[in-house]
């Protein structure tokens, strides 16, 4: 967005995943694990902040107007407009060598988390833009016995 600078959105979700996993032996000391399944999540908090170039005298040195609003809630109530409820699919893979585990995971949200953007941004560029949550993780672990 041309008129928002340094935007930062934080979202905190409480998530319940349900996964099916398979552990495959690849050798004496090697194993691979695959997992997949759905998740459901509820947004419990978050803040959205940034700055907007302000074309009137603001008294600030850089001419920008700073903002900090709640991430979840209605745009008409001066919030960012994100829905609290989210759901999607999780897919993960991990490799084990003896007690060392290295894994990767991706989560793709199926819920359009903010359909209120059209009320704020009514431009051709964002007309069909409806954001969804996406997350990826890389892990390194050690199994204690």
Q: What local confidence, expressed as pLDDT, does residue 116 receive? A: 66
Query: What are the average pLDDT values for consecutive 10-residue runs of the chain, which has 145 residues?
Result: 68 93 94 97 88 59 73 77 89 96 96 70 61 90 91
Give the other-Cβ count within 10 Å of 68's Cβ. 9
pTM: 0.71
Domain limits of the chain?
5-142
What is the DSSP track for the chain?
-TT-EEEEE--EEEEEE--EEEEEE-SSSEEEEEEEEEEEEEEEE-EEEEEEE-SS--S-SS-EEEEEEESBS-GGGTS--B-SEEEEEEEEEEEEETTEEEEEEEEEE-S-S---HHHH--SSTTTT-----EEEEEEEEE---
The answer to whether the CB of 108 falls within 8 A of the CB of 89 is yes
Q: What local confidence, expressed as pLDDT, does residue 82 receive? A: 82
Q: What local confidence, expressed as pLDDT, does residue 145 receive? A: 81
Closest CA to 112 of 76, 74, 86: 86
The answer to whether the CB of 120 falls within 8 A of the CB of 126 is no
Q: How far is residue 75's CA from residue 120's CA, in Å, rounded to a whole number?
A: 8
């Amino acid at each position: 967005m041309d008129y928002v600078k340094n935007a930062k959105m934080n979202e905190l979700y409480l998530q319940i995943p349900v996964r099916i996993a398979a552990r495959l032996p690849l050798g004496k000391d090697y194993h691979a694990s695959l997992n997949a399944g759905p998740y459901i999540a509820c947004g419990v908090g978050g803040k959205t902040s940034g700055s907007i170039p302000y074309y009137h005298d603001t008294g600030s040195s850089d001419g920008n107007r700073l903002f900090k609003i709640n991430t979840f809630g209605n745009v008409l109530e001066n919030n960012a407009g994100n829905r609290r409820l989210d759901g999607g699919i999780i897919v993960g893979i991990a490799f084990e060598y003896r007690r060392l585990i290295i894994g990767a995971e991706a989560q793709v949200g199926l819920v359009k988390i903010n359909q209120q953007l059209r009320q704020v941004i009514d431009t051709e560029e964002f007309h069909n833009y409806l954001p969804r949550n996406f997350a990826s993780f890389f892990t390194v672990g050690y199994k204690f016995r």
